[in-house]
Amino acid sequence: MKILVLNGPNLNMLGIREPEIYGNKTYEDLCDLINAYAKEKRIAVDIFQSNHEGDLVDEIQDAYSEYNGIVINPAAYTHTSVALLDALKAVGIPAVEVHISDVSKREDYRQISFVREYCFETVSGLGFQGYLKAIDLLLERQNDCNN
Ligand code: DQA
């Protein structure tokens, strides 16, 4: 199992940005947590963050036939990007959408998610643990497909 974790704009500012919403831990802490979990589960994981929509699209395209699962927190692009949705549809890799905060309880403009149409599951409001839950969901799905 090889999983790509994608993070959108401003997630590199974790620890600094709105700690009352996103907590005090940094982006590096998030990467350490994901890498340690991947090691425990004996799976390969790569983590990528960008503030640029096109770079995220490129990364999804490059994932084609390289990864068998994608965990994606598109951050603000969740609510605006048809391009990310189209890229996910193009590569056809099973994907889980993650949000650190509970977007369902936030502003109206955060209630739309374009990637949700493609992702088989959304994990929202579990903090950093949501990324680990998303990895579990991808592993479960792969096991189900192999049985
Ligand atoms: C977020 C929620 C988005 O609405 C916001 O734009 C983000 C982070 C989250 O992880 O809770 O940047 O995706």
pLDDT tens-place string over residues 68-121: 999 999 999 999 999 999 999 999 999 999 999 999 999 999 999 999 999 999
Question: Quick one: what percent of the chain has pLDDT higher than 70?
Answer: 100
CA of 145 to the centre of ligand 1 (A): 30
In DSSP terms, 48 is beta-bridged to 6
Ligand 1 atom closest to 110 (CA): 4
C-alpha dist (Å) from residue 96 to 13, 17, 18, 25, 53: 22, 24, 24, 22, 18
34 confidence band (pLDDT: 50, 70, 90): very high
Who contacts 121 (Cβ-Cβ below 8 Å, separation ≥6)? Answer: 96, 97, 134, 137
**Pocket around ligand 1: residues whose beta carbon is below 6 Å from it?**
10, 73, 75-76, 78, 99-101, 103, 110
Whether pTM exceeds 0.75: yes
Which residue of 103, 104, 128 sits with most ligand 1 atoms within 8 Å of its CB, as the best mutation to test the pocket? 103
The confidence score (pLDDT) of residue 147 equals 74
Q: What is the DSSP letter of 66?
A: T
